[in-house]
Amino acid sequence: MALDKFEKSHAEVLQSVVPSEKLSDHQLIEATKSGDEDAFAEIVNRYRNQITNYLYRFLNDYEEAVDLSQETFVRVYFALERYHTEYAFSTYIYRIATNLAISELRKRKRRKLLSLTGLFQTEEDNDTEFQPPDERNLPDEDLLEDEQSRTIARAISTLPDKYRAPIVLRDVEGKSYEEIATILELGLGTTKSRISRARGLLKEKLKHYF
Amino acid sequence: MNEQELQSEFLSADEEKLRGMCANLKRVSAPKNFDMRVKARIAAHQTQPVRSPFFGFLKVAAPLALLMVVLGAIVLMNLNSGNQFASSQVTASYAETAKLQANLPTRDEIVPPSVARNSGPNANAEIETPRTANVNMDQALASRDNSSFGRIFGAPKTDPIDPNNGSSRDSASTTPRVIKSPVFNQFNPTVQTPSESNKADMTNIISFLQFYGIIAISSGNSLKVQSIVSGSQAERSDILPNDIIEAINDVNLNEIKTIHINNGTKLDIVRERIRTEKTLK
Q: Which of A67-71, A149-153, B116-120 shows the lowest per-residue confidence on average (mean pLDDT)?
A: B116-120
**How many domains is chain A partitioned into structurally?**
1
Question: Is the separation of the CB atoms in B157 and B218 below 8 Å?
Answer: no
A2 lies in a domain? Answer: no
| Residues 6 or more apart in contact with residue A21 via CB below 8 angstroms | A42
* Within-domain flag for A4: no
CA–CA dist A170, A179 (Å, integer): 9
**Confidence check on the interface: ipTM exceeds 0.90, yes or no:** no
Task: Measure Cα distances from B150 to A87, B177, B241 in Å.
Answer: 88, 14, 18
Chain B positions in Cβ-Cβ contact with residue A172 (cut-off 8 Å): 22-23, 25
Cβ-in-10-Å burial (0-12, 13-18, 19+) of B253 comes to buried
Domain around A22: 9-209
- B269 closest CA partner among B200, B222, B202, B211: B222
Contact B21 A142 (CB under 8 A): no
A148: in domain: yes
- Judged against a pLDDT cut of 50, whether residue A178 lies above it is answered with yes
Query: What single-letter DSSP state applies at residue B162?
Result: B
pLDDT value at residue A96: 94
What is the arithmetic mean of pLDDT over A147-176? 90
By the 8 A CB rule, do B249 and B265 touch? yes
Residue numbers in A near B2 (CB within 8 A): 176
A65 located within any domain: yes
Q: Does any domain span residue A1?
A: no
Distance CA A40, CA A89 (A): 13
Residue A105 distance to chain B (closest CA, Å): 20
* CB contact A120 to B (< 8 Å): no
Bridge partners (DSSP) of residue B268 are B247, B277
Q: What CATH number did the domain enclosing A186 receive? A: 1.10.1740.10
In angstroms, rounded to a whole number, what is the distance separating the alpha carbons of residues A12 and A10?
5
pLDDT of residue B262: 67
DSSP secondary structure of B22-84: HHTSPPP---TTHHHHHHHHHHHHHHSPPPPHHHHHHHHHHHHHHHHHHHHHHHHHHHHHHHH
Cα gap B221→B255, rounded to integer Å: 10
B1, B15, B28: residue with CB nearest A53: B28
Question: Which pLDDT score, from 0 to 100, does residue B68 have?
Answer: 94
The verdict on A192 touching B (C-beta cutoff 8 Å) is no
Question: What is the predicted pLDDT for the residue at A24?
Answer: 86
- On whether residue A3 sits in a domain, the answer given is no
- Selected residue with higher pLDDT from A120 and B155: A120
Residue B278: helix, strand or coil by DSSP? strand
Q: Does A189 touch chain B (CB under 8 A)?
A: no
Q: Which residues of chain B are under the pLDDT cut of 70?
A: 1-9, 48-53, 82-200, 260-264, 272-275, 277-281
Helix H or strand E encompassing B92: strand B89-92
Residues of B in contact with A71 (CB under 8 A): 41
User: What's residue B17's pLDDT?
Assistant: 85
Chain A partners within 8 Å of B26 (Cβ): 142-143, 145, 149
Please name the residue of chain A whose CA is at the shortest distance from the CA of residue B38. A70
Tell me which of A14-18, A171-175, A199-203 is least confident.
Answer: A14-18
A143 C-beta neighbours (distance < 10 Å), count: 14
pLDDT of residue B57: 80
Task: Compute how many other C-beta atoms are within 10 angstroms of the C-beta atom of residue B192.
Answer: 13
Residue B25 to residue A175, Cβ atoms within 8 A: no
Instruction: Mark yes or no for CB contact B34/A167 under 8 Å.
Output: no
Question: A57 lies in a domain?
Answer: yes
Q: Is A44 among the domain residues?
A: yes
